[in-house]
Amino acid sequence: MIEIAVCDDDKAFLKEIDTILKKQNPFGGKYNLTFFQSGMALLKNTKIRFDLIFLDIQMPKLDGIKTAKFLREQGNNAVLVFLTAVSIPSTETFKVAPFRYLVKPLTQANLSEDLPEIFDEVIRRYQTLLIKCGERLHEIKISAILYLTINHKSVDIVTDSGRFTTKETMRELEQKLSPFGFVHSHKSYLINLNRVSALKRLSVTMESGEELPISQPKAVSFRKSFTEYAERKVGILK
* Alpha-carbon separation of residue 163 from 146, 151, 177 (angstroms): 10, 12, 17
**Closest of 10, 61, 19 to residue 39, by C-alpha:** 61
Domain segments of the chain as ranges: 2-124, 128-232
C-alpha–C-alpha distance, residues 215 and 81, integer Å: 33
The verdict on domain 128-232 having CATH code 2.40.50.1020 is yes
CATH number of 2-124: 3.40.50.2300
58-86 pLDDT, tens digit per residue, is 898 899 999 999 998 887 888 999 998 87
Output the CA torsion 66→68→73→74 (10° steps): 120
C-alpha–C-alpha distance, residues 59 and 230, integer Å: 26
209-231 pLDDT, tens digit per residue, is 999 999 999 999 999 999 888 77
Report the range of poorest mean pLDDT among 3-12, 13-22, 100-109: 100-109
Q: What is the pTM of this model?
A: 0.62
152-209 pLDDT, tens digit per residue, is 899 999 998 899 999 999 999 999 999 888 999 999 999 999 889 889 999 999 989 9
C-alpha–C-alpha distance, residues 183 and 194, integer Å: 10
End-to-end CA distance of the chain: 33
